[in-house]
Chain A
Amino acid sequence: MNAKREIVRTQEVRKTYVMGDETVHALQGISLSIDAGEYISIMGPSGSGKSTFFNMIGGLDKPTSGEVYIDEVDIAQLGTYELAWLRCRKIGYIFQTFNLIPVMTALENVTLPMVFAGLDADEAREKGMSLLDLVGLGGRLLHKPAQMSGGQQQRVAIARALANDPAIILADEPTGNLDLKTGRAVIDLLTRLKAERGVTIITATHDMKMLAASDRVIWITDGQVSRIQSRGELTIQVGSIDGKEEA
């Protein structure tokens, strides 16, 4: 029983936006829990509240009502300093557009979160180098983002996300701007990290390849969880789509 540890838990999370005269209920009471070491994909059409929910469990947005616990801490209680600390150490972010800092080299990008966390320069450099090695970019430490391909940039971003050994990696359409092959390589890398390091991976995605790698897929429609599929239910379905893609 001890093997399962809750890393994210939401309780009746609601989010309401006021847009002009209209009140938009983006989330209408979502309760679920995610265990440490799970690979979760969140699916949903645009406007479904998927992004809102995704941002919420990533500590980027606060609910209007209900609670979001990240590693047992209610994020609504946190001030700006504590939220920054949480983002720095507990969560690693991966973006669709990679978002490396353009003026910095691969190594500087990877070590930046460590600098924020107060690691000294030598330690940070060493750890940064080993992380870049881990993602297969040991030979490109001093390349600037503009000198790298999309797949390489995304791998640097993954190394950066791992900088402070976070409990959660939050990936927003990580394969959205990549071609089929590099996208698959990124998914393989995430899967490997999950297996080797026990990181929890939460992605928002439309990518069918991603679903195949997930332990669970959470479908969100109209601000509610409409379906949760576990890996067993997925394989057959996705297998055929995957097959078509490769044909």
Chain B
Amino acid sequence: MRSPAKKRIFDDGSGASRRVVMPWGQTVRMCLANVKQRLGRSVLTFICIAVVVAFFSSSMVYQDFLVRLMASPDVHVQAVLERAGVFVHDVDSLARQRDQRIWLMTLSAVLCLVGITNTILMSVTERFREIGTLKCLGALDVFVVRLFLIENALIGGLASLLGAAVGCLLAVLQLGAVFEFSLLSWWFCAEGMFPGAAKSVAVGTFLTLLASIYPTYVAARMRPVDAMRSEV
């Protein structure tokens, strides 16, 4: 009887490399192909994120506009504000509005999180055979993690950008409707929009990544033998 093998797998004498790798280029190509393949579901996730981010950015940008207008020394601006019923010195009402806004934003963020997690989880469980096959071909868990995170970061980032842009537009329209468009110069808009828009893009992307943690974990834990499962 042979002695129990002490030999390690890499010592097969063939001089083959010990590496198992997945280059970034390949990863991104696969992600893009996957997004294209499941366009319907990707668009669904995309819209969900874009809507929430639009809401975030519109309310943040609107609030920023308002604060800036109230701080303005211009008599005309003050007159318009007063006519619209905004009292420059009513700090309490402003604080109340802000709290309300934060509450609404948190609520929509949670809803969005649950919704996106569900959509991504569906796409993960649907792809059990593909993931199992990748593992049979030698993919490590971390390759699968990378695939799903990049795919969702792509969707989340793009959706957030679009959502933020739409939100800024909405904020301008809202301001124009409540007060006067004449209050808004190009420079005023551009300067006032940036912080709110940037914050909402960051929040949107972060939310998407947060939502994809659990589904990605599920995907990474799938076993190679799942590739042989015949039932869905």
Chain A residues engaging chain B, CB cutoff 8 angstroms: 51, 55, 60-61, 67, 69, 71-74, 77-78, 80-82, 84-90, 93, 95-97, 99, 101-104, 112-113, 115-118, 160, 163-164, 172
Asked if B225 contacts A61 (CB within 8 A), the reply is yes
Nearest residue, chain A, Cβ from B36? A103
Cβ-Cβ contact count across A and B, 8 Å cutoff: 110
Which residues on the A side are within 8 Å of B8 (C-beta)?
73, 82
Q: Is residue B89 within 8 Å, beta carbon to beta carbon, of the partner chain?
A: no
Asked if A117 contacts B20 (CB within 8 A), the reply is yes
A77 to B23 alpha-carbon distance, docked (Å): 28
How many residues from B make CB contacts under 8 Å with A? 40
Shortest beta-carbon distance from B26 to chain A in Å: 6
**Residues 1-31 of B contacting A (Cβ, < 8 Å):** 4-5, 7-10, 12, 16-23, 26, 30
Nearest residue, chain A, Cβ from B34? A103
Q: Is residue B140 within 8 Å, beta carbon to beta carbon, of the partner chain?
A: yes
A189 to B136 alpha-carbon distance, docked (Å): 22
A37 to B36 alpha-carbon distance, docked (Å): 42
Asked if A104 contacts B22 (CB within 8 A), the reply is no
Shortest beta-carbon distance from B103 to chain A in Å: 42
Residue pairs across A and B with Cβ atoms less than 8 A apart, 16 shown, are A69-B5, A71-B12, A80-B141, A84-B139, A85-B18, A87-B135, A90-B9, A93-B133, A101-B30, A103-B36, A113-B137, A117-B17, A118-B17, A160-B137, A163-B137, A172-B228
Asked if B138 contacts A113 (CB within 8 A), the reply is yes
Asked if A99 contacts B227 (CB within 8 A), the reply is yes
Asked if A85 contacts B9 (CB within 8 A), the reply is yes
Shortest beta-carbon distance from A194 to chain B in Å: 20
A101 to B16 alpha-carbon distance, docked (Å): 26
Candidates A72, A84, A112; contact of B5 at CB < 8 Å: A72
Asked if B224 contacts A80 (CB within 8 A), the reply is no
